């Protein structure tokens, strides 16, 4: 379980988070959406212990991310927006290295690499150096690293950027499977149809806070019907809070 309470973070004059609260239950996928600069990546960086909040706290399974990093680290898997891989090493060398950092050894390491590699369609790429892969392929390896040790909490920040349809499906299926197995997942995206595929609940961030939170059905039920009687959609929800046109989501 992940619990973020009252997070504040400033970068000089910029307020990145201003009272950000979020709770994610085991087995739940939360789709964290919001326009550029709303604070989504800052939240992921704080929740994974990479950045300290000015105020507020994040707990994973009851442990404070800032105060108890050694306890929390094995429970977390982060695929940040920026790739963190060794470009001169092969795919399998990267997975072995990062699996080892997470404490996987021997047979368990081999089995987890095999499983995540097949699930994420990496099996043709094992011996390729990361720097020779396409952007979408690199992002797939990056997400595989986050999944490798079966963390209780997964933080995935726009993991499908640049993914072709088959790779997108592979990743979404894998994430859904991990949630069914009990992981709490925070999934950031600008592509709202992914929330349906993941059967995600929604957290909508705006100006450093979560301004709407709930199941898709509950949030949509609270919206008025359009003048033409059309049932409201997630795009309508997004537009109501951010004023941003829907096209901005797909273009992002």
Q: Which residues contribute to the site for ligand ATP (CB under 6 A)?
A: 11, 14, 16, 34, 36-42
- Of 45 and 175, which has the nearer Cβ to ligand ATP? 45
Q: Phi and psi of 113, rounded to 5°?
A: -65, -45
**Rounded to whole angstroms, how far apart are CA atoms 188 and 208?**
14
Give min distance, CB of 36 to ligand ATP, in A: 3
Whether 4 and 43 have beta carbons less than 8 Å apart is answered as yes
Nearer to ligand ATP, 16 or 24 (CB): 16
Q: How far is the CB of 42 from ligand ATP (least distance, A)?
A: 3
CB of 32 to ligand ATP, least distance (A): 8
Nearer residue to ligand ATP within complex by CB, 11 or 228: 11
Least distance to ligand ATP, CB of residue 37, Å: 4
- Residue 39 beta carbon to ligand ATP: minimum distance, rounded to whole angstroms: 4
Nearer to ligand ATP, 36 or 215 (CB): 36
Listing DSSP states for the chain in one string gives -EEEEEEEEEETTEEEEEEEEEEE-TTPEEEEE--TTSSHHHHHHHHTTSS--SEEEEEETTEETTT-HHHHGGGEEEE-SS--S-TTSBHHHHHHHHHHHTT--HHHHHHHHHHHHHHTT-TTTTTSBGGGS-HHHHHHHHHHHHHTT--SEEEEESTTTT--HHHHHHHHHHHHHHHHTT-EEEEE-S-THHHHHTT-EEEEEETTEEEEEE-HHHHHHTSPPPTT-PPP-HHHHHHHHH---THHHHH-
Nearer to ligand ATP, 43 or 98 (CB): 43
The distance of closest approach from Cβ of residue 179 to ligand ATP in the complex, given in angstroms and rounded to an integer, is 22
By beta-carbon proximity to ligand ATP, the closer residue of 173 and 235 is 235
């Amino acid at each position: 379980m992940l619990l973020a309470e009252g997070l504040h973070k400033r970068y000089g004059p910029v307020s990145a988070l201003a009272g950000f609260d979020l709770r994610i239950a085991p087995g739940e996928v939360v789709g964290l959406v919001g326009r550029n600069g709303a604070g989504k990546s800052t939240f992921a960086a704080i929740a994974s212990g990479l950045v300290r909040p000015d105020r507020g706290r994040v707990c994973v399974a009851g442990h404070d991310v800032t105060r108890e990093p050694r306890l929390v680290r094995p429970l977390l898997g982060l695929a940040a927006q920026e790739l963190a891989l060794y470009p001169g090493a092969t795919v399998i060398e990267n997975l072995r290295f990062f699996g080892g950092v997470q404490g996987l050894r021997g047979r368990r390491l081999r089995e987890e690499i095999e499983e995540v590699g097949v699930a994420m369609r990496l099996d043709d790429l094992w011996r390729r150096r990361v720097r020779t892969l396409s952007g979408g392929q690199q992002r797939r390896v990056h997400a595989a690293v986050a999944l490798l040790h079966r963390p209780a909490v997964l933080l995935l920040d726009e993991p499908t950027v640049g993914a072709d349809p088959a790779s997108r499906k592979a990743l979404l299926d894998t994430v859904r499977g991990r949630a069914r197995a009990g992981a709490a997942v925070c999934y950031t995206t600008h592509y709202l149809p992914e929330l349906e595929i993941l059967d995600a609940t929604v957290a909508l961030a705006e100006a450093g806070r979560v301004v709407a939170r709930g199941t898709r059905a509950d949030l949509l039920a609270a919206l008025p019907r359009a003048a033409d009687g059309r049932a409201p959609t997630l795009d309508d929800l997004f537009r109501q809070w951010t004023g941003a046109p829907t096209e901005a989501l797909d273009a992002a």
